[in-house]
Amino acid sequence: MLHKLFRLLVFTLAITTPVLAIEIRTPETQEDEQAILDQYLLPDGELKDTLDELFTTYKLAQSFGNGTSVRTKDAFRKAGFKFLKGTRITEHPLMPGWVVKLGRANRVHQHVSRIWMAEAMRAVIQEHDLTHVKIPEKFLYHIPGTPQKLVDDNYAVISEKVECSNDRNNRARLRQLPFQTLNEIVTIIKNVVYNDPSPSNIRVLGDGATVAIIDTEIIHWKRGWDVARCIKQFVTYLSLEQKVAIAKSR
């Protein structure tokens, strides 16, 4: 019975949420890359000076994996970075309020997709007048000594830090979200085919009714997912009441 309800929910969400033509700016040519860099390259200022100083002094390269991950993590630690998660997500006491995200080895446009997916999500927010979903500000930081090409190895993503509860608490808080917020999240998932809508990526803010999507990366191995599959994943994190409320409204 529950299983049936769930399937019906995913189906109705997939067919009834209106989709506008949101452009996702994946770069294909050098001109495309330049246009993204023109808009999102971290501007000169204190933040960039600090990163330049740390990256050049400590010779921080970005190649994780292939046996180099431990050494690279150590280098970042020596430079004063603290890892928030895994080997890629860091912060530094000299840059309060910012998170520095790094790429994964052997990817081209997974990590840097954080930038154009965030842009696409902001476009959905604007087009649909959504008021309960925030997307943190993000910039690209060119890693000194690497080529200019806009690929994962050559850029860090600098993201505004969001004050939010830890993963486990957030999971519970997501299950308390009001219907309107859930509806807005579904609208975003649907319009940009957001394939990683998990509680660690969609964080409930202090008011309990607004969320920030802090991880806007398109996951490489889930690229074949369609809208229904993405929504199906999101809905698994919700309470039965929330599932029913969404299903009823469609």
Calpha distance 54→60 (Å, rounded)? 8
Q: What does the DSSP assignment read for 111-152?
A: TTHHHHHHHHHHHHHHHTT--SEE---EEEEEPTTS-SS-SG
The reply to whether 214 sits near ligand ATP by the rule CB under 6 A is yes
The reply to whether 89 sits near ligand ATP by the rule CB under 6 A is yes
Residue ranges in 145-174 that form contacts with ligand ATP under rule CB under 6 A: 159, 161-162
Give the tokens for residue 11: 């189906």
Q: E strands, 143-208, where?
A: 155-160, 202-204
Segment contacting ligand ATP by CB under 6 A, of 52-60, 84-92, 139-147, 183-191: 84-92
Q: How far is the CB of 217 from ligand ATP (least distance, A)?
A: 5
Calpha distance 139→179 (Å, rounded)? 32
3-state secondary structure of 67: coil
The reply to whether 88 sits near ligand ATP by the rule CB under 6 A is yes
Q: How far is the CB of 189 from ligand ATP (least distance, A)?
A: 16
Residue among 185, 166, 200 nearest 242 (CA): 185
Check if the beta carbon of residue 241 is closer than 8 Å to that of residue 5: no
The reply to whether 136 sits near ligand ATP by the rule CB under 6 A is yes
Of the pair 26, 201, the CB lying nearest ligand ATP is at 201
Contacting ligand ATP (CB under 6 A), which of 35, 84, 172, 244? 84
The reply to whether 85 sits near ligand ATP by the rule CB under 6 A is yes
Q: Which residues contribute to the site for ligand ATP (CB under 6 A)?
A: 84-86, 88-89, 99, 101, 136, 159, 161-162, 200-201, 214-215, 217
